[in-house]
Structure 1
Amino acid sequence: MIKYNKWTIGLLSGTVLASTLVAVPEASAAVEPIKVSAEAAFVIDNETNKILLDQNGDESLYIASMTKMIPLYLVHEAVEAGTISWDTPVPVSEYAVAISQNYELSNVPLREDFTYTVKDLYEAMVIYSANGATIAVAELIGGTEHAFVDMMKAKLDEWGITGYSLFNTTGLPNHYADELGNLYPGAPVDEENKMTARGIATVADHLLDDYPEILETAKIEDKIFMEGSGDEIHMMTYNLMLPNQPYAHTGVDGLKTGTTDASGASFAGTAVEEDRRVITVVIGAEDNSVRFGETSRLMDFAFDNFEKVQIAAKGDAVKTEEPLAIAKGKEEEVGLVYSEDVFVVTPNTDEELKVETEMSLNPDLLNEDGQVEAPIEKGTTVGNVTLSIEGDDLGYLDGSQNEAAVAVERTVEKANVFVLAWRWIASTASQGWNTVTDFIGGFFN
């Protein structure tokens, strides 16, 4: 049950407009987390990045084929940039073929004398976690798998992810590459890719935010690879939580499994219920039954114990103690409105909790006196309101915040020189001035 009240907003140092009053819900931060039978578990709300559960989320652990979410992101990025297209032919190296022909591994067998497109191999990566296909696409984009691994690392660094070790594009144990003479420089033969559950959630969040179309492929449960080619292979999904699978859960439409002896049974999952999407991560479960069963528990926990609450609509006034002061304007102040609908994700119990907000102005819009200057057009975004739940120890993913943009409610034109002069005279006269130079200098500033 959500109650509404008004709370005084805290102040930020520097570019803060004022202490603010807004309508916010009261709820409880004290949702008892569940214990998951795995080495680590992590749950976030995809839209707001609110962390809903963190069980050992910052320990670097083996991630197996969940690694492939990073190459998948880079494939989408390359297509978007025009570097490649979905129809681009993919040459297949001797190394990619050798990995693909290993029937101990998840693969679609490849041939050097056959033409595959990016789309063909992308589908094999998503649906069937195909290792050789991943290497072939990585070599197309990066030149070599090792160069592509460096691109993956750069992307993780860009996202602020720490605590990772990446040696290949697939998540396979390094000895497979070593046996074929393709070990990443300096990589230990007896190691595998590692990342934290928080890091995996961050990768999944970026993938779903930037390229949600991946779900159209991720929700495919079976498909013929290279149908009609004479090299047909029946690909069956490893995501056994999709609608027709043994561990089906309502709303699941992705995302990526991972399994090696070191990683155990791991899974980055996602599900949608009404207008909410959650991302779950389980690392190091015992087997399929545990990884999918625990993922199901995590999804139920997220949907049953938390709710998304709208606390303002686009165009609603931002209630402030004082309007925004405008320098050199025909009007000396202007009200603010929200530039977008504003939501928070809160526990859905009856206990009371304050949702606090802080508002800061965009420093790029401020003059040397820390003021916004006219002219300024209606709808110009001048800052952000940050929302946080009092007493919440989990916060938001990787230090991000739940923010809403705010804009000026109307246009404020610049005042003419006579108005500005009169204002300056009135202001200076109240303080006194000593010289004509002060007067002239102040007039023209």
Structure 2
Amino acid sequence: MKKKTVKQSLAVLMVSFMAMTPFQQTAHGKSTVEINADAAILVEADTGKIVYSEHEDKALGIASMTKMMTEYLVLEAIEKGKITWDQTYKVSDKVYQLANAPGLSNVPLRADEEYTVRELYDAMVIKSGNGAAIALSEVVAGSEGEFVKMMNAKAKELGFEHYQFVNSSGLSNYDMLGMYPEGTDVNDENVVSAEDMATLAYYLIHDYPEVLETSSLTSKVFRPGTSEELVMKNTNGLLKGKSYHYKGADGLKTGTTPFAGSTFTGTAKRNGIRYITVILDAKDKYGQPSSAERFIQARELLNYGFDEFKTVTYDLDSIEKKKKHTLPVPNGKEQEVTIKVDKPLSIRLTDEEKDKVKTTLNLDEEKVNEDGSLQAPIEKGEKIGELVIDTNEKEEYIFDRKSSDYKVDVYAAESVKKASWIVRSARGIQDFFVNLF
């Protein structure tokens, strides 16, 4: 998890023989899921909670999933006004050669031709165009070598712990016709852990949700009506109309190289719930890399998230069911105040977890007397305390989180003024006689 800081050497990053057989993981003590890959993870997209994981900290080859970081930096540059969608780029000799190299995934780009950032972005996201990715790296940073520095800096900023970016496309450096980025080696590879890939997907979706508008397209025509017209087909097998269509799937990226095997970072949303899944180097039953298995196994993980977990809502009724929740205010003009939460807290839980949940109302010690009453004056909307939901489970997240407790603020629903001295004195006398008799 995000607690280790020691970086692994490249030798340790290589694919291990232990992945040749399927592993079984009881996800946090729940039902068993079988995944046959070098690493896998399933994450709640809203909270970052890890639902299932295996070898999630092992940095492995990611191939074209590298382009997700390129996407992030391009979208960030657009957001900051450093580049624009209609900005044009004149194809460099390096990009021309790599965009037209046999055997590499590409949208062919012409020498000395100009393309917009939007055209290059679509070619990268949908068709996984390697030349387009390198072109965008030059647009953003001036050179791919400088862009690689930005990639690693952003990874550190986002909290990655097991990673190494060496180019913008995800190609193996030795496949780049000798034109690999300056500052890297010909034998270098892009390697990232499953957990860090899930983290990248999380930030992409949260910071730039428009990324899904493009990554969800099954196809798009490149430069329609021109001599360069080309139907770009998405390699994401979970999208509608694809062989492994999964309801709600709308991104993000596949990757395939001899070093990385068949990899996939996917996401799907159903009934307002979104999950992120990462499969690194999926294997078939013979232990061989399998393009199909990355989608089959991603479906299995997504099914686990959607089917085994249910959304449970918690509010003040979870402590005690009654129409009105109040606290006494002995010195107030009104002697009680209604309390509320702005919005109930929703948590995804299994039936077993649901039975273990403990809910507690923790009132602010500075505002509460020893007997649990409040002191007037109280302002409407004033925070009184917190409703704490403890799942009694050891939960882990793709980013640091100190506690697995879920909390929601509790407020005063109305204002309560302090009663006058006369009223408070009269109440004191009344209480005296009540207690006396």
TM normalised by structure 2 equals: 0.75
| Alignment partner of 1:148 is 2:150 | no
Task: State whether structure 2 residue 349 is matched by structure 1 residue 342.
Answer: no
Q: In the alignment, which residue of structure 2 is the partner of 1:396?
A: 397
Query: Which of 244, 254, 258 is the matching residue for 2:255?
Result: 258
**What residue number does 2:429 align with?**
none
Structure 1's 29 and 177: CA in aligned 2 closer, same or farther, altered over 3 A?
closer
Note the alpha carbon deviations across 1:337-387, whole angstroms, 9 max, x for none.
4343311111135873225679798xxxxxxxxxxxx99974467987665
For the 8 Å contact 2:42–2:301, the answer to whether it is kept is yes
The structure-2 alpha-carbon separation of the partners of 1:93 and 1:246, relative to structure 1 and needing over 3 Å to count, comes to: same
How far residue 36 of structure 1 moved from its aligned partner, in angstroms, is 0.6
1:309 matched to 2:312: yes
| Aligned match of 2:242 | 245
Is contact 1:324–1:335 with CA below 8 Å preserved after alignment? no
Q: Specify whether residues 382 and 358 from structure 1 end up closer, same or farther in structure 2 by C-alpha distance, changes over 3 A only.
A: closer
Equivalent residues in 2 for 1:411-430, closer than 5 Å? none
2:18 alignment partner in structure 1 = none
Q: Paired residue for 2:19?
A: none
User: For the structure 1 residues 360 and 193, does the alpha-carbon distance in structure 2 shift closer, same or farther, using more than 3 Å as the test?
Assistant: farther
1:296 pairs, out of 283, 294, 299, with 299
Aligned pair 1:160/2:198, yes or no? Answer: no
Q: Distance in 1 between matches of 2:297 and 2:175?
A: 30
1:60 and 1:98 mapped to 2: Cα distance? 30
Partner of 1:425: none
User: Structure with the greater relative contact order (CA < 8 A, sep ≥ 6): 1 or 2?
Assistant: 1
Cα deviation per residue 1:23-42 (whole Å; 9 max; x = unaligned)? xxxxx963123121100010
1:183 corresponds to which residue? Answer: 181
Q: Report what 2:88 is aligned to.
A: 89
Correspondences of 1:201-220 after superposition (within 5 Å): 201-220=198-217
> Which of the numbers 280, 284, 290 marks the counterpart of 1:283?
280
The share of aligned pairs that are identical, in percent, is 36
Deviation sequence 1:20-67 (CA, Å, 0-9, x none): xxxxxxxx9631231211000100111122211001101111111111
Paired residue type of 1:396: Y
RMSD: 3.8
CA–CA separation in structure 2 for the residues paired with 1:303 and 1:152: 33
Aligned partner of 2:135 in structure 1 is 136
Kept in 1, the 8 Å contact 2:40–2:55? The answer is: yes
User: Residues 183-229 of structure 1: CA distance to partner in whole angstroms, max 9, x if unpaired?
Assistant: 331x3322211111000011111111222222221121122211122
Please state whether the residue corresponding to 1:108 is helix, strand or coil.
Answer: coil
Q: How does 1:326-341 map to 2 (within 5 A)?
A: 337-341=340-344
Q: Hey, what does 2:192 align to over in structure 1?
A: 195
CA drift at 1:287: 1.2
Amino acid at match of 1:233: L
The DSSP-based 3-state class of the residue aligned with 2:163 is coil
TM-score w.r.t. length of structure 1: 0.73
CA distance in 1 between counterparts of 2:108 and 2:377 reads 64
Instruction: Supply the distance in 1 between the matched residues of 2:69 and 2:80 (Cα, whole angstroms).
Output: 16
One-letter code of the match for 1:353? K
Q: CA deviation at 1:414?
A: 11
**Cα distance between partner residues in 2 of 1:153 and 1:382:** 44
CA contact (8 A) 2:28 2:51 kept: no
Unmatched 5+ stretches in structure 2: 1-26, 283-288, 365-375, 422-437
- Distance across 1 between alignment mates of 2:187 and 2:361: 49
Q: Give the 3 Å change call, closer, same or farther, for CA 102–388 of structure 1 in structure 2.
A: farther
**In structure 2, distance between residues paired with 1:139 and 1:114:** 15
Segments of 5+ residues of structure 1 without an aligned counterpart are 1-27, 362-373, 420-445
Count matched residues.
375
Checking the alignment, whether the CA contact within 8 Å between 1:336 and 1:406 is kept in structure 2 is no
The whole-number CA distance in structure 1 between the counterparts of 2:302 and 2:81 is 37
Aligned to 2:3: none
